[in-house]
Amino acid sequence: MATMINELAINGGPKAKTTPSIPMYPGGLEIGEEERQQLNEVIDRKYLFRYYGPEDYPSKVREFEEKFAARMGAKNCLAVTNCTSALISALVACGVGPGDEVIVNGYTFFASCASIVAAKAIPVICEINESMTMDPDDLEQKITPQTKAVICVHMRGAPCDMDRIVAICKKHNLKLIEDVAQACGGSYKGKALGTFGDVGCFSFQYPKIITAGEGGACITDDDLLYDRLMGYHDTAACWRPDRFGGERYDGELFCGVNYRMSELTGAVMLAQLGKLDRLVSAMREHKNQIKKQISGLKGITFRKLNDEEGDTAICLMFMLDDASKVTPFVDALQAEGVGAAGVFNKGIPDWHIYSHWKHIIEKKTPTTEGCPYSCPHYKGDAPSRYSENMCPKTNEILSRTVHLDIPSQLTAEDCDMIALGIRKVAEALL
């Protein structure tokens, strides 16, 4: 008897998707002649460090900063070594330190939380909602007299509810830092992500939309914050007009670190920035093509999007009605040739989910004193509530979620086959 076309591949039927999988490196897979030309200029000029070198040439890092700020609609941009250093610099620039609490999503890469501890403050973990981003209702409930700032993470390429988050931060006089590591090129109601808060922080690590392998940036419209960002990221003070001069204003000079971006990284980012809009446009087109073909399927609820037009479309996320259905659903999709994964499994460590942040939950520190948790300046009790189940809504939502990457290099045929695979599995299992 002939195998039916709709028989699941996991049961011996034909695969829905027969083309090879494409790794999720949107900008990385586009590395080519443009990057080579920019790098060759740096090598030919022998100008590897922005603050000193041959004086006949402009800095590639500075050129990237100017163009990135213009693309995002921000007044100032500071290029740094990675997004973690961007977040730490932003927290320090905003005056966060001992005794302060900073609220952050419970679904984000661990670095978003680790940066708070690095700034000597206390992380407070906030629930997400069906948008997979910060739940504004829980955010407001988590605010205490010790709260100094909020890090809202535009997780998996899509914007947070910025209207509500901005309003909450203004109401409570809190600094707002946007983590745009996974959403470079995204927007909310026509305004670029990273420009709503006091500082926006970006990542150019290899899996990100545009990349130099590693790298990051801060953007801000506040000139004082920009000065403080510059000062902290460059403890040698090369950035000052007179590096050995006295303070131009109170609080200008303080000890910092070295998070300076190299000219080689800046050169690659100049080339990558020119590809950003094309990459995001391609991912949006692919995602729309897939979603149109699977809309209305019984048992599937798409991720809520706070602004669908502002989504960078790096992935497709949808929820099933029961967590127990995720593993068989994902196994069947993978058998169809469709790259898919569940998001949360309590037994599988994933540093994108707070339940696995044992460094935080167990209050691990590099020294026995236990700072910042034992800091005498801290008067709150947030660490006493740390546990694997402190954000049950987050765990419940993620445990029901299926995730598919949407590489910019997909073809229309790939998208049709992915949609076919999802339809086959949904109709058979849900």
Task: Name the H helices within 73-201.
Answer: 83-93, 111-118, 136-142, 162-171
Angle between helices 223-233 and 83-93 (to 10 degrees): 120
| Measured CA angle at 257 (ends 253, 258), to 5 deg | 120
What is the Cα–Cα distance from 61 to 266, expressed in whole angstroms?
4
The dihedral through the CA atoms of 26, 28, 34, 35 has a sign that is positive
According to DSSP, residue 213 is labeled: B
What is the Cα–Cα distance from 139 to 104, expressed in whole angstroms?
9
Residue 334, both tokens? 């993978």
Of the candidates 271, 274, 259, which has an alpha carbon nearest to the alpha carbon of residue 50? 259
First to last CA, the chain: 26
Partnered with residue 125 across adjacent β-strands are: 104
Partnered with residue 405 across adjacent β-strands are: 315
Asked if residue 338 lies in contact with residue 422, where contact means CB atoms within 8 angstroms, the answer is yes
* Structure-token match 């999503």, residue found: 105
The 10 Å CB-count burial string (b at 16+, else e) for 331-340 is: bbbbbbbbbb
- List CB contacts of 164: < 8 A, sequence separation 6 or more: 136
According to DSSP, residue 201 is labeled: E
Asked if residue 336 lies in contact with residue 60, where contact means CB atoms within 8 angstroms, the answer is no
Backbone phi, psi, residue 147, to 5°: -70, 125
Per DSSP (E only), the strands in 311-363 are: 315-319, 341-342
**Active site annotation includes 189:** no
Backbone phi, psi, residue 15, to 5°: -65, 145
Question: Which position among 148, 175, 208, 275 bears the catalytic label?
Answer: 208
Going across the sheet that includes 301-302, the strands are 301-302, 315-319, 401-405, 341-342
Q: What is the DSSP string of 260-285?
A: BPPHHHHHHHHHHHTTHHHHHHHHHH
By annotation, the residues acting in catalysis are 208
